[in-house]
């Protein structure tokens, strides 16, 4: 019976997000249980010293080894969690301690693969590991990541992204999806799905799954745009052309486009399609409606248009999405 295990080193530092650290090991621990031998992962927590590390939740964690000790051994996967601080105006700022960044850079050089969880992407970027790569992070710090590291192609929509042997994950709970994707990469989709069922997750979300939905987008400070957003949601089955929206808001088409770009960071057409995809996702998850009926009821008109929109927004098809996320009606 094989007993070879892949060593995973998780970086610890003061104030680290607790779920970033504990979520992935829960996934990895189930691999051996779901196989007939002892193969799987050996998870090791590394910190500057062996003293307890206090997480953002106030829970203290004991490291297994120091960074120096971790650097002296081969690492299969280096897992880099994140941490934030919130200022008096409730603005979120990712923490990138230079000492931690330097250790991440060093340990990455000993690793076959590197993965960040949530705002841990800022540590990877500070270490130069994301230069020239596409990456994601928590939606709240994505603009900061893009501004601070222009060499990184930041995409705040997917729940995780693989760029070669560097992986980045989005929001905190997406660490489970990222970990399942790593399991699938190592041991195959079938085992990853078995692990997902043990975790009572509804199968395994693809990386293209959006990390946020239309209702969670930042609210505009302009009353006119907010009224337009509500108007769009009430009339998704209609044509909703830019001229129609402009006339409804008593604006020129150019003014409408400029306001959407300034307030929502997108165009009216893209926003409308995103809202329709969101409605279609809900129907795919919660109803037995045919694709034809969903396409018509969500304003796409045809199934082909629905499929193209899903490929653009979620990098999957409506049928594949339903198979993964279908809830019992």
Tell me what pLDDT residue 117 has. Answer: 95
Using the predicted structure, report yes or no on whether residue 110 has a pLDDT greater than 60. Answer: yes
Longest Cα pair distance anywhere in the chain, in angstroms? 73
* CA proximity to 199, closest of 31, 17, 7: 31
pLDDT over 50 at 74, yes or no: yes
Is the CATH number of domain 5-198 3.40.50.720?
no
Whole-number mean pLDDT of the chain? Answer: 87
| pLDDT for position 220 | 45
Q: Are 95 and 56 in contact (CB under 8 A)?
A: no
At 197, list the tokens. Answer: 């069922």
The domain made up of 214-325 has a fold known as: Arc Repressor Mutant, subunit A (1.10.10)
φ and ψ of 222, to 5 deg: -95, 120
pLDDT at residue 3, as a whole number: 61
Query: What local confidence, expressed as pLDDT, does residue 295 receive?
Result: 95
Q: Which pLDDT band holds residue 1 (cuts at 50, 70, 90)? A: very low
Task: Please state the rounded mean pLDDT for residues 40-51.
Answer: 96
DSSP string, 16-73: --HHHHHHHHHHHHHHHHTSSSS-EEEEEEEESSSS-EE-TTS-EE--SEEHHHHHTS
Please tell me the distance from the alpha carbon of residue 285 to that of residue 318, in angstroms, as a whole number: 10
Q: How far apart are CA 114 and CA 101, in angstroms?
A: 13
Q: Is the pLDDT of residue 72 over 70?
A: yes
Location of each CATH 1.10.10.60 domain in the chain: 214-325
Highest mean pLDDT among 6-20, 23-37, 132-146, 281-295: 6-20
**pLDDT band for position 216 (cuts 50, 70, 90):** very low
Least confident of 102-116, 199-213, 286-300: 199-213
Per-residue pLDDT band at 98 (split at 50, 70, 90): very high
pLDDT at 328 over 50: no
pLDDT band at 66 (very low <50, low <70, confident <90, very high): very high
* Residue 169 contacts residue 156 (beta carbons within 8 Å): no
Predicted confidence at residue 329, as pLDDT, reads: 37
**pLDDT, position 323:** 80
What integer pLDDT is reported at residue 177 of this predicted model? Answer: 87
Higher pLDDT residue, 128 or 225? 128
d(C-alpha 8, C-alpha 27), whole Å: 12
Residues of the chain with CATH 3.40.50.880: 5-198
pLDDT for 36: 67
Q: What is the DSSP string of 284-301?
A: HHH----HHHHHHHTT--
Instruction: Look at residue 202 and tell me whether its pLDDT is greater than 70.
Output: no
Task: Calculate mean pLDDT across residues 123-128.
Answer: 98
What pLDDT is attached to residue 239? 83
């Amino acid at each position: 019976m094989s007993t070879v295990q892949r060593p995973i080193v998780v970086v610890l530092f003061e104030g680290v997000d607790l779920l970033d650290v504990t979520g992935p090991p829960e996934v990895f621990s189930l691999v051996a249980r779901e196989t007939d031998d002892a193969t799987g992962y050996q998870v090791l927590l590394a910190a500057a010293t062996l003293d307890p590390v206090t997480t953002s939740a106030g829970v203290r964690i004991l490291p297994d080894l120091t960074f120096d000790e971790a650097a002296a051994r081969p690492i299969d996967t280096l897992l880099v969690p994140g941490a934030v601080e919130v200022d008096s105006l409730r603005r979120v700022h990712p923490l990138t301690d230079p000492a931690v960044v330097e250790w991440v850079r060093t340990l990455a050089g000993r690793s076959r693969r590197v993965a960040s969880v949530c705002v841990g992407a800022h540590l990877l970027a500070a270490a130069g590991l994301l230069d020239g790569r596409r990456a994601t992070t928590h939606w709240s710090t994505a603009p900061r990541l893009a501004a601070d590291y222009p060499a990184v192609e930041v995409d705040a929509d997917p729940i995780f992204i693989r760029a070669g042997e560097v992986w980045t994950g989005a929001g905190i709970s997406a660490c489970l999806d990222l970990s399942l994707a790593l399991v699938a990469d190592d041991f195959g989709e079938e085992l990853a799905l078995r692990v997902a069922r043990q975790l009572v997750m509804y199968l395994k979300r693809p990386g293209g799954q959006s990390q946020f939905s239309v209702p969670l987008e930042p609210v505009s400070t302009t009353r006119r745009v907010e009224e337009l957003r509500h108007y769009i949601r009430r009339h998704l089955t209609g044509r909703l052309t830019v001229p129609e929206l402009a006339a409804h808001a008593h604006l020129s088409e150019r003014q409408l486009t400029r306001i959407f770009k300034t307030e929502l960071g997108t165009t009216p057409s893209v926003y409308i399609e995103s809202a329709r995809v969101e409605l279609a996702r809900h129907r795919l998850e919660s109803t037995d409606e045919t694709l034809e009926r969903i396409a018509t009821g969500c304003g796409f008109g045809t199934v082909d248009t629905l499929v193209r929109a899903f490929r653009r927004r979620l990098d999957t098809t409506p049928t594949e999405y339903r198979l993964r996320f279908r809830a019992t009606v």
